[in-house]
Amino acid sequence: MNLLEGQDVTVHFNVHGGVIKAVDLVNFALPQGQIVGIVGESGSGKSTFARVLAGIQIPTSGSVSYLGKPIQDGKITYKGDLRQAVQMVFQDPYGSLNPRMRIIKAVAEAVRQHQNVEKAEAKEIAQKLLESMGISALDSRKYPSALSGGQRQRASVARALSAQPKILIADEPTSAIDQSAQAQLLGLFNELIKNGLSIVLVSHDLGVIRYLSDYVYVMKDGKFVEEGKTEEIFNNPKEEYTKKLISSIPGHKSH
């Protein structure tokens, strides 16, 4: 069974008297223990769809299911214990890190909230989480503004992992960080998959998608125009839009 499924998901926004179809009748599946990529240009609808999967955006129509059960009950998504099952990492880690709180405290608070442990144990768990993300004890005592972009992104991943989720939804996690920090983060995602996590990776960067994903959905104007196993999509793309995206990868040689 798939961990997460989207069925005919549609999101419409009313703008200046008109309607924008940000997501239009999209179907999606995330199998256990895989990284599934969603790729498309800016404005294709991929971030809106990621927010629907995470339960942050309520779809206009259609549904998302976790282990076969709808995530939505009225206007509430991921009720009770399910709230921990799916966590999201944003492009800008400031969204999940309090700028007035030291990193260790921000992660420890999340641990306490999700794992129901005492303050001292929460701090210990937080420290181990941060160390596993390559953030030293010294750096963990800094405020977000004192860390590099890559460190902040890894700290936000640590905070998301404090919930012990089954699924991580990462929306453009590498776009705001330099290449060496990207390599660290991608290596980290690989380790998380080995440890049983499943990941939805949303990116306009096809190099990142190719490196990490098992399966890829290509998004354009709110629809999935192509999908398939990663190597099939990259070696034998069917749609002109996909071909154009792939040809834009630096150093890519067309077959």
Average pLDDT, the chain: 88
Q: What is the pLDDT of residue 231?
A: 93
**Angle at Cα 248 formed by Cα 171 and Cα 178, nearest 5°?**
50
Segment 198-216 shows an average pLDDT of 90
pTM of the model: 0.87
Q: What is the pLDDT of residue 93?
A: 67
Q: What is the pLDDT of residue 15?
A: 85
Residue from 169, 162, 246 nearest 6 by CA: 169
Residues 115, 83 contacting (CB under 8 angstroms): no
Domains of the chain: 4-85+165-247 (3.40.50.300), 96-152 (no CATH)
Q: What is the pLDDT of residue 174?
A: 79
Q: What is the pLDDT of residue 250?
A: 63
Q: What is the pLDDT of residue 255?
A: 47
Residue from 132, 137, 174 nearest 153 by CA: 174
Which tens digit of pLDDT belongs to each residue from 78-123?
887 788 889 888 877 666 688 899 999 999 998 988 888 889 999 9
Residue from 126, 102, 101 nearest 113 by CA: 126
Highest mean pLDDT among 58-67, 159-168, 181-190: 58-67
Q: What is the pLDDT of residue 1?
A: 77
Which residues are 6's β-sheet partners?
28, 64
Q: What is the pLDDT of residue 229?
A: 96
Residue type, 136: S
Higher pLDDT, 206 or 181: 206
Q: What is the pLDDT of residue 50?
A: 95
Higher pLDDT, 95 or 206: 206
Q: What is the pLDDT of residue 148?
A: 84
Higher pLDDT, 253 or 21: 21
Residue type, 152: R
Residues 165, 196 contacting (CB under 8 angstroms): no
Q: What is the pLDDT of residue 80?
A: 79
Residues 196, 33 contacting (CB under 8 angstroms): yes
Q: Which residue has the tokens 């420890």?
A: 108
Which tens digit of pLDDT belongs to each residue from 18-67?
889 999 999 999 999 899 999 998 889 999 999 999 999 999 999 999 99
Confidence of residue 251 (pLDDT cuts 50, 70, 90): low
Q: Please state, in angstroms and rounded to a whole number, the distance separating the CA atoms of residues 7 and 134.
A: 38
